[in-house]
Amino acid sequence: MTTPGAAGAPPGGRWRRLAGPQNRTLWFWAFVGPFALGLIVFTYVPLGWSVYLSFFDAHNTVSPTDFVGFDNYTSMLRNDAFTDSLWTFVVFTAFIVPTTFVLSLSLALMVNRMRRAQAFLRSVFFLPAACSYVVAALIWKMSLFNGVRFGLANTVLGWFGAEQTAWLSTTDPPWYWLVIVTVRLWLQAGFYMILFLAGLQRISPTLYEAAAVDGARPGWQVLRHITLPQLRATSVAVALLLVINAFQAFDEFYNLLSDSRGYPPYARPPLVYLYYTALGQGQNLGLGSAGAVLLALIIAVVTVGQARWFGLGRKED
């Protein structure tokens, strides 16, 4: 057997070697290449550029010359509007993640027990997931929760003699959270219900039968000791996805609360704040990038911590 590249190798030997056995390397790059290229061009280059910008005074320019070191970072961290936005986000996540989790799990448990019309109910609850955040936010803002007497919420309250409430403009009590949270619950509960349903249907019936034989009472005991442990993998995935989705919250906040003159100082999550800083009329791309880098670091730490804690990707025994 001759080694490739030896004196008598056929022409194109190097090409052969690059292409790999049965052209596998070639095909690997043919399929992965475009995606990797897109990832580099549209994700990693902008990411790196954003880090670069964050060290410059970059007003209205993406090729700045005025190096300022960590000034953008210190002013962002001292900026109470930015730190407030982080708190807004923490409060929002602390509420929306458990609520969506419990709601979608309950929906899944209920739908799973249905003997008839299961497919119908599954579709009904899943349907909102197909609706756009923007459209749903506008419906919530303009017809369900508008502040005048003919809004749906105010009409219903009017039957009981309550006076009209400006849901999105009232900060004491913070009614705007009701609007923001309900729109997101409506939109995403159905999607996570489907994930839970899939998990539920994978649980072997023999487990339940064995539990029944052992005298486990149906209801809480079975749920606590059979269903939930068996749903662990699904639950971890759902919790992670919920947190990531909460990090990305922008659409419904922006469409519910912004107006032509800007955004109110409450319920302003970091992405909305950075959008106005970097891409609004201010065009302070350096400061906005610094904020984005800080936010990315926070997200990375939280996600890695969460994955560690839940043991995501660990081999199940």
Interface positions with another protein (CB under 8 A): 30, 34, 59-62, 81, 142-143, 145-149, 151, 165-172, 259-262, 264-266, 276, 279-284
d(CA 258, CA 265): 10
Distance in Å, CB of 304 to another protein, minimum = 33
HSE of 231, CA atoms in CB hemisphere, 13 A: 25
Nearer to another protein, 173 or 215 (CB): 173
Smallest gap from residue 59 Cβ to another protein (A): 4
CB nearer to another protein: pick between 22 and 260 = 260
Shorter beta-carbon distance to another protein: residue 195 or 256: 256
Q: Which residues pair with 56 in a beta bridge?
A: 67
Nearest residue (CB) to another protein, 176 versus 247: 176
What are 92's two structure tokens?
């929002």
**Smallest gap, in angstroms, from Cβ of residue 17 to another protein?**
22
Question: Of the two residues 148 and 213, which places its CB atom closer to another protein in the complex?
Answer: 148
Closest CB 281 distance from another protein, rounded Å:
4
3-state helix, strand, coil in the chain (%, to 5): 70, 5, 30
Pairwise CA distance, residues 76 & 93, whole Å: 22
The token pair at 185 is 């619950």
Distance in Å, CB of 61 to another protein, minimum? 6
Of the two residues 30 and 244, which places its CB atom closer to another protein in the complex? 30
- For 239, other C-beta atoms within 10 Å of its C-beta total 18
Cα within 13 Å of Cα(219), Cβ side: 1
- Min dist. Cβ of residue 288 to another protein (A): 11
Per-residue tokens: 317: 């025994």
Burial (CB count <10 Å: 0-12, 13-18, 19+), residue 206: exposed
C-beta of 46 vs 311, nearer to another protein:
46
Structure tokens of 135?
């459209």
As separate numbers, helices (DSSP H) first and strands (DSSP E) second, the chain gives 16, 0
Q: Distance between CA 294 and CA 297 in Å, rounded?
A: 5
Nearest distance from residue 66's CB to another protein, in Å? 9
